[in-house]
Amino acid sequence: MKIAVCVKHVPDATVTKRIDPGTKRLDRSGEGALNPFDTQAVEEALRIKERDGDGEVVLVSMGPERALDSLRKALAMGADRAILVSDEQVAGSDLVATSRVLAAVLEREGADLVVFGQQGGDSDGAVLGAAVADRLRRPIISQVAELEIAGGKLKGKRQTEFGYDVIEAPLPAVVAVSDAINEPRYPSLKGIMGAKKKPQETLSVGDLGLEAGNLGEAGSRTSVLALNDPPARGDALKIEDDGSAAEKIADFLAERKLL
């Protein structure tokens, strides 16, 4: 079975997030890392491959050339090869344009199963998997906490506010796993060293036969018109705890008839 895992290079958790006032987009010039939610997707793909005793796990991503550093972490975990679409023409792509690029790569690969993480750590959209599945015309199960594959079908179990859903779908299919599905492994030293030698392919939009007008800002269907600081808060009362803070808070609430 060929399994494609879509992963993302996101700003490192230690980097202060800021919006570029010129482009009105997230500033990605600082240190980056593998999207933490995607580690569960990679881990689940590796477990499926190990259970089957055969197959291939292919990483698919879109981003700058330095995104290869994040892909190598996933390769060190055990993935077999990586594909990165890196082209200035995709800069500023929204959900619509990004899904177009990823779907083009996935159609080229012809994977039996496409796996996404729960969401992007820099966007929290959690809908890219569905957009890609729609372009591929494949079924999708999202927020999967348990996954079984047998007989050309997959069964996904996910938790809801009313209990659990168990959904079946035929392969090929798309799955977005939740962060509760597994505990990702740590790359071993051998895996880290071996990751550098694994195939790492970099593609342009021309390699995929895509038109520049359908990508980047030109191919996006959303735009940011303005950015503003949050409105200032009203008058605030600061209470120092000198032993009577609880009484002062109670009096404050009582005056406003909140008790």
The H-or-E segment that residue 72 falls in is helix 67-77
Counting residues of the chain whose pLDDT is more than 70, the rounded percentage is 100
What is the residue extent of each domain of the chain? 2-214
Structure confidence at residue 24 (pLDDT): 80
Assign a CATH topology to domain 2-214: Rossmann fold (3.40.50)
Predicted structure pTM score? 0.84
The H-or-E segment that residue 165 falls in is strand 163-170
Q: Are 82 and 73 in contact (CB under 8 A)?
A: no
Residue carrying structure tokens 């005793």: 53
Sequence-separated (6 or more) residues with CB below 8 Å from residue 236: none
Range of lowest pLDDT (97-106, 150-159, 178-187, 213-222): 213-222
CA distance 246 to 34: 46
Q: What is the pLDDT of residues 152-206, one digit of tens each?
A: 999 999 988 889 999 999 999 999 999 999 999 999 999 999 998 999 999 999 9
Counting residues of the chain whose pLDDT is more than 90, the rounded percentage is 63
Residue 48: pLDDT over 80: yes
Q: In angstroms, how far is CA 132 from the centroid of its own chain?
A: 13
Residue 56: pLDDT over 90: yes
Could you tell me which residue, 20 or 169, shows the higher pLDDT? 169
Q: What is the pLDDT of residues 58-94, one digit of tens each?
A: 999 999 999 999 999 999 999 999 999 999 999 888 8
Residue 129 burial (C-beta neighbours within 10 Å; 0-12, 13-18, 19+)? buried
57: tokens are 């796990």
Q: Are 104 and 165 in contact (CB under 8 A)?
A: no
